[in-house]
């Protein structure tokens, strides 16, 4: 989930042009890093919603600045869950959107609109897979355990990871093809 937050924060930050938007990004980062501590499923649902809104309506301004700051702050929390110390994780999480703003202002070719749309589409699909994957996997394991007849042991399976991975790849390919034909 950390990769999804980082990609979305960096992509959103490339659309910020005004200094006021960068200040909003900084304030939302501080608020997110200080007070928010959601579960990965909620982070995934939020990223999916933001990615769809961004791809569909190409929102700019304060809304995107707030989204970039919140996602960067959440990425800092994810890094801390991975065991990175807060004094290292939060500056790294803050540097990503600030660096994206700097690079996008320096060269418009850094993140053209088509690339941003493609990245947000992929981020949204990946967030859906990551947010729903654990619940789907748990459901499959539960159903498999309930379907065993008495006296039989469970057979070894490849596991839901392969099915989820192949389904995600097929879905991503279909969505990308559909998106390009519009």
Listing DSSP states for 5-38 in one string gives HHHHHHHHHTT--SHHHHHHHHHHHHHHHHH---
Q: Does residue 143 carry a pLDDT above 70?
A: no
Q: Does residue 156 carry a pLDDT above 70?
A: no
Q: In sequence order, which residues have a C-beta less than 8 Å from that of residue 54 and are 6 or more positions away?
A: 12, 64, 67, 116, 120
Question: How much is the average pLDDT of 101-113?
Answer: 84
CA neighbor of 111 nearest in space, from 79, 66, 64: 64
Pair 65, 25: CB distance under 8 Å: yes
pLDDT at residue number 30:
93
Q: Does residue 179 carry a pLDDT above 80?
A: no
Q: What is the distance between the alpha carbons of residues 157 and 138, in angstroms, rounded to a whole number?
A: 14
More confident residue, 46 or 164: 46
Residue holding tokens 């379907």? Answer: 147
More confident residue, 170 or 71: 71
pLDDT at residue number 116:
79
Question: How much is the average pLDDT of 160-165?
Answer: 65
CA neighbor of 67 nearest in space, from 54, 81, 80: 54
pTM of the model: 0.69
Residue holding tokens 């929390």? Answer: 77
Other CB atoms within 10 Å distance of the CB of residue 111:
18
Q: Does residue 9 carry a pLDDT above 70?
A: yes
pLDDT at residue number 175:
75
Sign of the CA dihedral running 137, 139, 140, 144: positive
Question: How much is the average pLDDT of 36-56?
Answer: 76
pLDDT at residue number 147:
63
Q: Does residue 153 carry a pLDDT above 60?
A: no
Pair 9, 51: CB distance under 8 Å: no
Vertex 40, ends 7 and 2: CA angle to 5°? 30
Taking only the tens place, the pLDDT of each residue in 13-27 is 888 888 888 899 899
Q: Residue 30 burial (CB < 10 Å; 0-12/13-18/19+)?
A: middle
């Amino acid at each position: 989930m950390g990769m999804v937050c980082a990609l979305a924060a960096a992509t959103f930050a490339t659309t910020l042009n005004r200094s006021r938007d960068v200040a909003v990004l900084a304030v939302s980062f501080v608020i997110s890093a200080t007070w928010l501590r959601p579960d990965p499923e909620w982070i995934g649902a939020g990223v999916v919603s933001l990615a769809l809104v961004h791809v569909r309506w190409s929102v700019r301004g304060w809304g995107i600045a707030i989204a970039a700051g919140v996602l960067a702050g959440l990425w800092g929390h994810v890094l801390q869950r991975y065991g990175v110390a807060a004094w290292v994780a939060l500056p790294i999480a803050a540097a990503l959107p600030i660096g994206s703003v700097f690079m996008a202002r320096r060269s418009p070719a850094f993140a053209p609109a088509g690339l941003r749309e493609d990245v947000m589409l992929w981020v949204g699909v990946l967030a859906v897979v990551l947010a729903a994957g654990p619940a789907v996997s748990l459901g499959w394991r539960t159903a498999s355990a309930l379907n065993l007849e008495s006296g039989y042991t469970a057979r070894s399976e490849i596991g839901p990871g392969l099915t989820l991975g192949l389904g995600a790849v097929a879905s991503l390919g279909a969505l990308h093809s559909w998106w390009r034909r519009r």
